[in-house]
Structure 1
Amino acid sequence: MISIRKQLVASLLAVLCGAIALGAAITFYRARQEVNQLFDYQLRQMALALRDQNFIGSLPPPARDRGDFDFVIQVWNERGIRIYMSHPGRALPDRATLGFATVETRDGTWRTLSIPVNNQVVQVAQPMRIRNQLALMAALRTIMPFLAMLPLLAVIGWWLVGRGLSPLEKLAAAVAARTPVALEPVALEHAPIEASALVNEINSLMARLEQAMSAQRNFTADAAHELRTPLTALQLQLQMLERATSEEDRQIAMNNLQSGLERATHVLLQLLALARAEPDAQARPPVQIDLLELAGTVLADHYTLAEDKELDIGLSEHAHTAYLTADPESVRVLLSNLVTNAVRYTPQGGRVDVLTGLDNVGQPFMRVSDSGPGIPPEERERVFDRFYRRPGMTVGGSGLGLAIVKAIAERNHASVQLGESSLGGLAAEVIFTIPNPAAA
C-alpha cells in the first residue's frame, strides 16, 4: 500500500536537494567568475612587477618542482628562444600568445598572461585547477549548512505532512462509522477543499446505496406480502383436498390447487425476472438481435394462450427488420411481458399486433398494440410500480409485468411509452436509444 505521507516527504526532500544542487552549481559558476577576475588581476600585477627586471642573470635559478606551486614564469628573448622557466618540469607551450589565454597541456588547463618586456616576452601562468578548487570550496561552504539541516527538515516535513493529512483520517473515521442502516451523508464543513470531490462522491455513493437498500427492503416486503396470499390459498386448497369426500369435490379441489400453484409459480418467476432486470445484476455479453425474428419467436410462445381466447395475434403488416445489440434474453423477457399483458387483458375474440422497425431518427423500436380496455392516462405512470394493480380489474396477475419491462428497458438504454392503439386498446412502445449497428 502506498503511503501519501512518505511520498510527500520524499518528494519535498528531493525538490529541496535539487534546489540545493542548483544553488551550488550557480554559486560555483559565479565564484569561479570572481576567482578568475581576481587571479587575472594578480597575473597582470605579477607580470607588470617583472617589467623592469633585467632577466639576464637577475632571475633566481629554476625551482625544484614539488607540485605545490601556484605560478610558473617563462621568458623568451628577441629571437624566440626561451631563456628562463621557473619550473622546468611543467608542460607549457614553447611559444607565447600576447595577452591572456587559456591553454590545454598534458598537465591540465593553464591560464597565461604574456607581455613584451625589453625586447623579451615574459609569461606568467597559473593552473586552472587552483581556481576551480577555490570556487568549489566556496560553493561547498554555501550549501553545507543546508545539507546539515536536511535531517531536521525531514522531521519537520514529516510532522507537517502528517498534520496536513489528519483531516483525511477524520474523514475515514466518519465513513467507517456509517452502517447499512445509517448512511447519512458525511459533513463537508470540516473536510479540506482538496477532499471535497471525494466527500461528494462518497455521499453520492451512500445516497445510491440507501436508495438501493430501501428499494430492496420494499421489494422484499412487497414480495412477502404478495406470496403470502397464494401460499395461504394453497394451504386452504390442500386442506379442502384432504377433506373432500366425493370424487367430484376432490376434482374441484385438485383444479383449485393446480390453479393456485400456477399463480404462485407465476409470481415467483416474475420476481426472478425482476431481480435479473435490476441494474446491479450480472449482464450477459451483448449480441446482435433481429427484433423482427425475436417478435416472431415470442408470438409463437403465446399462440396456445391466444388460441384459447380466440385472439387474432401476430406481426403487424408494417413490421420491418431492425437490429439491436443487447442482451437477447432480457429483450425477449421484455417483449414477452408486453405480449403476455396484451393477451391477458384483451377480451375474447380480440386482436394483438406486434410492430418492429426503425423510427424516424433511425432508432430500433418495438410496439405491442391490443384491442383491450387500455389504461387511462392518469394511471399510465402508476402501472410501472411493483405489485400495482388497477382497481376493479378481474384478470389475475402479479402486478410485476410492466415493472419488469421498465427495469429491463432502463438497463438497455430504452424508454417505454404507453398510449392508445389504433385497435382501441393499449399501445406499449419501447424505443432503444442506442445506435443501430446495421445502419452504421
Structure 2
Amino acid sequence: MSSLRRQLLVALLGVLLLGSLAGAYATYRSALAEIGAVFDYDLRQLALSVRDLAIGVASELPAPDPDFDYIIQVWDRNGARLFYSRPHVDPPSRVQAGFATVETREGRWRVYGLLLQNQAIQVAHPLAVREALAARAAFGTLAPFLLMLPLLGMLVWWLTGRALRPLRRLAAAVTRRRADSLEPVELSGAPAEALPLVTALNGLLERLGTALRRQRDFTADAAHELRSPLTALSLQVQLLERAPDAAARTLALAELREGIARATHLVEQLLGLSRQGPDALPPRERLVLAELAAEVVADHASLAEARGIDLGMTAADTALRLDGEREGLRLLLANLIGNALRYTPQGGRVDVAVHAAGGGACIEVVDNGPGIPPHERERVFDRFYRRAGQEQPGSGLGLSIVRAVAERHGAQVRLLDAPGGGLLVQVVFAPGVNPAA
C-alpha cells in the first residue's frame, strides 16, 4: 500500500534536489564565464607587462614562482625562444594574435598572443584551473542545501503529517461507527481536497441505507403475506384429515391444491420482485420487442383458451430494437398479460401491441375487464395492494414488478381507460430505441 505522506516527501525533496542541482549547474556555467573573463583580462595584462619588460633584454625576465599557473613564452623575430617560464611543461607552441583555446597533451589551454615588431609574446593558462574554481563555486551553492536536506526532510514529513491529520480523524470517525450507523459523515472540518471523497461516501451511505430499508420492508411484507396462505394450507390439511367420506376428501384435496398453487404463485412473484429491484444489474442484450411479446402471448394462449378469452397481437413492429434484459421484460409482459386474463370475463378480449411512439417504443395491453378507477391507479403499484371487493386471486405484486422492470429500462407505465371499456396499460420507452438498419 502506497503512503501519500511518503509520496509527498519523495516528491517535494526530489523537486528541491532537482531545483538545487539546476541552480548549481547554472551557477557553474555563470561562474565559469565570469572567471574566464577575469582570467582572459589577466592574460592580456600579463602579456602587456611582459612586453614592457621584454623590450631590449628579454633574457633578464625573472623566473616565476612554481605555484604560478601562467606560462610565459617570448620569441624573437627569427623564431628563437628567448624565455620560457616552465621548461618541464608542454605548452602551446603556436603563436597567434589575440585569444585562442589550444589542445595539448596536458589538456586545454587558454592562450593570449601578442605580436610585436621584433618579438612574439605568448601567455597561457590551463582551463582546468578555471573549471575547478567554477565547480567550487557551484558546490558552495549546493553544499548548504545538501547539509540541510535531512532537516528539510523532517520538516516536510511533519508538515505533511499535520496536513493529513484531518483525514486520519475522518478515518477514525468512520472506523468507530457501528455496522448499522448509516448517518452521513460530518463535512465540517474536512479539508477541501477531501470533500469529494466525503460527499461520495455520504452518497454511498444513503444508497446503502435505502437498500437496507427496502430489504427490511420487503422481508416484513413477504412474511406478512406468506402467513395467510400458509395458515390456509394448514387449515385445509386439517379439513382433509377430518374428511368423513371420499367426496369430502376429494373436495378438501382440491382446495388444498388451489391453496398450494396460490402460495407457489405468491413465492414466484416475491422472487421476481426481489430480482427486479432498482439496484439490480441484470445482463442486457439487443432485443426485438415484438418477437419477445409474441413469445409471451404464445405462453398464455392455453390459459386464454381455457377461460374463453380472445388473446392476440394487434400490432408487432419488428423493426424496433431495445437494449434490455430479456428475462425482466419477459416478466413484465407476463404480468401484464396475466393480469389482463385474470380480470377479463369469459368471452372477453385481450390485445397486445408493440409499436413506435415518440422516437421510442411502446408496449400496450388492452382488456375489456372492469378497469381501475383513476383515484386508485397510483395505489395499485404499491406492493401487496389489492383493490377492495376483488374476487380474483392474486398477490398484489404484479404491477409492482412491472414498474420495477420499467424503471430499470427508463420506461414509464401508464394506466388508461380502454376505448371500448376496460383497462389500457402502456409501457413507454424513452427515445433511444433504434429501428434496424
- The TM-score with structure 2 as length reference comes to 0.93
Cα 1:434/1:119, change in 2 over 3 Å = farther
CA distance in 2, matches of 1:424, 1:78: 132
- The one-letter code matched in structure 1 to 2:412 is S
Aligned counterpart, 2:53: 53
Question: Contact 2:96–2:115 (CA<8 Å) still a contact in 1?
Answer: no
CA distance in 2, matches of 1:393, 1:127: 113
Cα 1:418/1:105, change in 2 over 3 Å = farther
Q: Secondary structure at the match of 2:185?
A: coil
1:29 aligns with 2:29: yes
Q: How far 1:244 sits from its partner (Å)?
A: 1.0
Question: Contact 2:358–2:431 (CA<8 Å) still a contact in 1?
Answer: no
Aligned counterpart, 2:385: 388
Q: How far 1:118 sits from its partner (Å)?
A: 5.0
Structure 1: runs of 5+ lacking an equivalent: none
Aligned counterpart, 2:247: 248
Q: How far 1:385 sits from its partner (Å)?
A: 1.6
Q: How far 1:215 sits from its partner (Å)?
A: 0.7
Q: How far 1:222 sits from its partner (Å)?
A: 0.4
Question: Contact 1:62–1:88 (CA<8 Å) still a contact in 2?
Answer: no
Aligned counterpart, 1:289: 287
Aligned counterpart, 2:335: 337
- The one-letter code matched in structure 1 to 2:362 is F
- The one-letter code matched in structure 2 to 1:271 is L
1:222 aligns with 2:247: no
Q: Secondary structure at the match of 2:72?
A: strand
Deviations 1:363-416 (A, max 9, x none): 233211111222233322222221122223222111111111111122233332
Mean Cα displacement is larger for which, 211-220 or 44-53?
A: 44-53
CA distance in 1, matches of 2:79, 2:426: 111
Cα 1:423/1:106, change in 2 over 3 Å = farther
Aligned counterpart, 1:309: 307
Aligned counterpart, 2:398: 401
Mean Cα displacement is larger for which, 43-52 or 330-339?
A: 43-52
Cα 1:62/1:36, change in 2 over 3 Å = closer
Deviations 1:327-383 (A, max 9, x none): 22221111111111111111222111110132241x233211111222233322222
Aligned counterpart, 2:276: 277
Q: Secondary structure at the match of 2:122?
A: strand
Question: Contact 1:369–1:423 (CA<8 Å) still a contact in 2?
Answer: no
Mean Cα displacement is larger for which, 221-230 or 344-353?
A: 344-353
Matched ranges for 1:155-170 at <5 A: 155-170=154-169
Question: Contact 1:385–1:403 (CA<8 Å) still a contact in 2?
Answer: yes
CA distance in 1, matches of 2:430, 2:190: 40
Question: Contact 2:92–2:109 (CA<8 Å) still a contact in 1?
Answer: no
Q: How far 1:37 sits from its partner (Å)?
A: 2.4
Cα 1:178/1:408, change in 2 over 3 Å = farther
Mean Cα displacement is larger for which, 52-61 or 382-391?
A: 52-61
Deviations 1:132-186 (A, max 9, x none): 1011111112221110111111112111111111111111122223334220000
CA distance in 2, matches of 1:379, 1:110: 105
CA distance in 2, matches of 1:382, 1:78: 123
- The one-letter code matched in structure 2 to 1:404 is I
Deviations 1:276-300 (A, max 9, x none): 112444523x333222222222112
Question: Contact 1:82–1:94 (CA<8 Å) still a contact in 2?
Answer: no
- The one-letter code matched in structure 2 to 1:381 is E
Q: How many residues align?
A: 434
Matched ranges for 1:98-247 at <5 A: 98-117=97-116, 119-247=118-246
1:355 aligns with 2:353: yes
CA distance in 2, matches of 1:431, 1:190: 47
Q: Secondary structure at the match of 1:387?
A: coil
Aligned counterpart, 2:7: 7
CA distance in 2, matches of 1:391, 1:22: 86
Q: Secondary structure at the match of 2:388?
A: coil
Question: Contact 2:70–2:125 (CA<8 Å) still a contact in 1?
Answer: yes
CA distance in 2, matches of 1:420, 1:113: 111
Cα 1:28/1:198, change in 2 over 3 Å = same
Mean Cα displacement is larger for which, 52-61 or 324-333?
A: 52-61
Q: How far 1:209 sits from its partner (Å)?
A: 0.5
Q: Determine which of 315, 319, 323 is the counterpart of 2:316.
A: 319
Question: Contact 1:102–1:110 (CA<8 Å) still a contact in 2?
Answer: yes
Deviations 1:17-67 (A, max 9, x none): 11111121122122222212222222222112112223542235799xx8x
CA distance in 2, matches of 1:395, 1:156: 79
- The one-letter code matched in structure 1 to 2:161 is G
CA RMSD of aligned residues (A): 2.1
- The TM-score with structure 1 as length reference comes to 0.92
- The one-letter code matched in structure 2 to 1:275 is S
Cα 1:119/1:418, change in 2 over 3 Å = farther
Question: Contact 1:62–1:85 (CA<8 Å) still a contact in 2?
Answer: no
- The one-letter code matched in structure 2 to 1:349 is G
Question: Contact 1:178–1:184 (CA<8 Å) still a contact in 2?
Answer: no
Q: How far 1:426 sits from its partner (Å)?
A: 1.7
Question: Contact 2:109–2:125 (CA<8 Å) still a contact in 1?
Answer: yes
CA distance in 1, matches of 2:14, 2:74: 53
Deviations 1:296-317 (A, max 9, x none): 221121122212321111001x
